[in-house]
């Protein structure tokens, strides 16, 4: 089983974590100004690279805190978390 580095608790087994998808998807700064297409992209469209991906994880059965990680989606190997 893969170990994931929780920035606060250290390496823990994968089953302790919850996946949160792409990181750094910011809520629109001016929501009123968004077109339907821009809203659709904010709500439904995410990057889906084969390779390094910046994503969110939650240590859901540990400290319950969210953190960001960089992981390779081809090898599943974590490069960094913070």
Partner 1 sequence: MNPLPEHPDFLWRNPEPKRSYDVVIVGAGGHGLATAHYLAKNHGITNVAVLEKGWLAGGNMARNTTIIRSNYLWDESAGIYEHALKLWEGLEDDLGYPILFSQRGVLNLAHSLQDVRDSVRRVEANVLNGVDAEWLTPDEVKKVCPIVNTSQEIRYPVLGATYQPRAGIAKHDYVAWGFARRADEAGIDLIQDCEVTGFTTDGDRVTGVRTTRGDIAAGKVALCAAGHTSVLTDMLGLRVPIQSHPLQALVSELLEPVHPTVVMSNAVHVYVSQAHKGELVMGAGIDSYNGYGQRGAFHIIERQMAAAVELFPVFARAHLLRTWGGIVDVTPDASPIVGHTPYENVYLNCGWGTGGFKATPGVGWCMAHTIAHDEPHPFNAPFTLERFVTGALVDEHGAAAVAH
List binders of partner 1 among 27-66 (CB under 8 A).
Answer: 36-37, 40-41, 43-46, 48-50, 53, 55
Nearest alpha carbon to residue 53 among 28, 81, 27: 81
Report residue 8 as tokens: 């606060």
From the CA atom positions of the chain, what is the Rg in Å?
15
Binding partner 1 (rule: CB under 8 A), the pick from 3, 8, 73, 79 is: 73
Residue 5, class by beta-carbon neighbours within 10 Å (0-12 exposed, 13-18 middle, 19+ buried)? middle
Query: With binding defined as CB under 8 A, does residue 24 bind partner 1?
Result: no
Query: With binding defined as CB under 8 A, does residue 67 bind partner 1?
Result: no
Residues that bind partner 1 (CB under 8 A): 1-2, 14-15, 18-19, 21, 36-37, 40-41, 43-46, 48-50, 53, 55, 71, 73-76
């Amino acid at each position: 089983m893969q170990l994931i580095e929780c920035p606060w608790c250290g390496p823990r087994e994968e089953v302790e974590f919850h996946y949160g998808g792409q990181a750094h998807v910011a809520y629109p700064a001016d929501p009123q100004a968004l077109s339907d297409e821009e809203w659709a992209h904010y709500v439904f469209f995410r990057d889906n690279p084969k390779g390094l991906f910046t994503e969110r994880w939650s240590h859901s059965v540990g400290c319950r805190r969210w953190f960001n990680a960089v992981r390779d989606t081809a090898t599943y190997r974590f490069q960094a978390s913070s």
